[in-house]
Structure 1
Amino acid sequence: MANFNTHLNTAFMVSGTLSLTVYKAGLVDDSGFLMCVALGTIGGLLPDLDSDNSTPIKLGFNITSFIFAFGLVMHWRSELSLLSLIVLWLAGYCFMRYTVFAVFTNMTVHRGVIHSVPYMAILGLGLTCLSYYVLQLPLTASWFYGLFLFGGALVHLLLDEVYSVNLSNMKMKRSSGTAMKFYQHKDKWWYLLIYTVLAMLLYLTPPFEPFWQQLRDPAPWAQLKVGILPDIVEDMLRERP
């Protein structure tokens, strides 16, 4: 399968190109452009959350542990002494980094249900709902954020499938078919739960039709077409006989 750097660089390039496209079309603003790039890149690392020794899971749990410990200290800062806050900080960090991490890694298997298309769809739709209903972000931005996260994850899964082909003799490796999957019979009960959650999210997601109508509007794409080439190149093309 593809390594960490391949996933990171490919997801960044794909999400960066698509983000620039929708930004130049006027569909997202400056902050939306940066968020789309970041979320697409993060999405390109998400499927490896089920790998016990992967860089994304270690980095993710380190960051989560720091945030969790910081949140505990901020919540109790006015009620506890300095020494108690230090103990709370260390206890909170160690609990997340070692206890929760150990439970998570023992419950997950690499290229299991997490490493699948419907699971990544849940994360993308979940982000869309969170952005729209909780963070009160605009409809267009909320859908773009969820789609870029999901799109980055699809890039990851596709890369793993491509790397499962031995191009030297055009044979399929043993890992073929374990990356971009929608169902595995041995995990049928997990997939039943996943598709149930996915159906609920599809029901709860913000309206898609206005977002789709905005994408189908020819005006933004006409604006993009005008500025697709540098002015000097467009002048040269117009001057050609």
Structure 2
Amino acid sequence: MANFNTHLNGAFAVSGVLGLTVYKAGLINDSGFLMCVALGTIGGLLPDLDSDNSTPIKLGFNIASFIFAFGLVMHWRSELSLVALIALWLAGYGFMRYVVFRLFTSMTVHRGVIHSVPYMAILGLGLTCLNYYGLHNPLSISWFYGLFLFGGAMVHLSLDEMYSVNLSGMTLKRSSGTAMKFYQHKDKQWYLLLYVLLALLVYAAPPFAPFWEQLRDPTHWAQLKVGVLPDLIDNLNR
């Protein structure tokens, strides 16, 4: 399978190209462009959350542990002494970083249900719903954020499948088919739960038709045609 740097660089490159495309088409603004590229890059690391020793899971739990400890301190800051707050900070961080992390890694198997298309679709749709209903972002931005996160994850799964092909002998490695999967019979209960959650999110998702109509609007793509390539003739005349 592809390594961490390959996933990171691949997701960043694809997200950057797609982000620049929709940005030049006038579909997102400056901050939207940066967020889309960032979310696409993050999405490219998400499928490896089920790997106990992967860089994304360690980094993610470190960040989550700091945030959790900070939240505890901020909640109790007015009621506890300095020494007690320091102890609470260390206890909160240790609980997340070691207890919760140990439980998470013991319950997940690498290339299990997390490393699947429906799981990534749930994360993408969940982010869309969070942005639209929770953060009250515009419809188009909400969909772009969710789609870029999902797209980055698909880059990850695609790279893993590509690396499962032995190009020298044109044969498939044992890992072929374990990356981009939609179902595994041995985890049928988990996949049933995934598809139930996915169906609920599809039902609750913001309307897609207006977003699709905006994407199909020819004025955006006419604008994109302007400046796609440098005007070499004008540059030579100068």
Structure 1 Cα separation of the partners of residues 115 and 232 of structure 2: 44
Equivalences for residues 180-199 of structure 1 within 5 A: 180-199=180-199
2:45 matched residue in structure 1: 45
Give runs of ≥4 in structure 1 deviating > 3 Å. Answer: 234-237
How far did 1:186 drift?
0.3
Structure 1 Cα separation of the partners of residues 152 and 71 of structure 2: 29
Deviations 1:134-169 (A, max 9, x none): 000000000000000000000000000000000010
Letter matched to residue 232 of structure 2: V
Equivalences for residues 170-209 of structure 1 within 5 A: 170-209=170-209
Structure 1 Cα separation of the partners of residues 197 and 179 of structure 2: 21
Structure 2 Cα separation of the partners of residues 156 and 69 of structure 1: 31
How far did 1:229 drift?
1.6
2:149 matched residue in structure 1: 149
How far did 1:104 drift?
0.4
Q: Secondary structure at the match of 2:145?
A: helix
Letter matched to residue 160 of structure 1: D
Measured on the aligned residues, the alpha-carbon RMSD in Å equals 1.2
Q: Does 1:29 align with 2:20?
A: no
Structure 1 Cα separation of the partners of residues 179 and 157 of structure 2: 5
Q: Does 1:99 align with 2:119?
A: no
1:161 matched residue in structure 2: 161
Q: Does 1:18 align with 2:33?
A: no
Deviations 1:41-96 (A, max 9, x none): 00000000000000000000000000110011111111111001000000000000
Superposition TM-score, scaled by structure 1 size: 0.97
How high is the sequence identity, in percent, across the aligned residues? Answer: 81
Structure 1 Cα separation of the partners of residues 88 and 213 of structure 2: 51
CA distance 1:23–1:100, shift in 2 (3 Å): same
Unaligned runs of 5+ in 1: none
Q: Secondary structure at the match of 1:198?
A: helix
1:228 matched residue in structure 2: 228
Aligned residues: 237
1:212 matched residue in structure 2: 212
Structure 2 Cα separation of the partners of residues 217 and 196 of structure 1: 33
1:130 matched residue in structure 2: 130
How far did 1:204 drift?
0.2
Superposition TM-score, scaled by structure 2 size: 0.98
Letter matched to residue 22 of structure 1: V
Structure 2 Cα separation of the partners of residues 71 and 26 of structure 1: 38
Structure 1 Cα separation of the partners of residues 59 and 38 of structure 2: 15
Unaligned runs of 5+ in 2: none
How far did 1:235 drift?
3.5
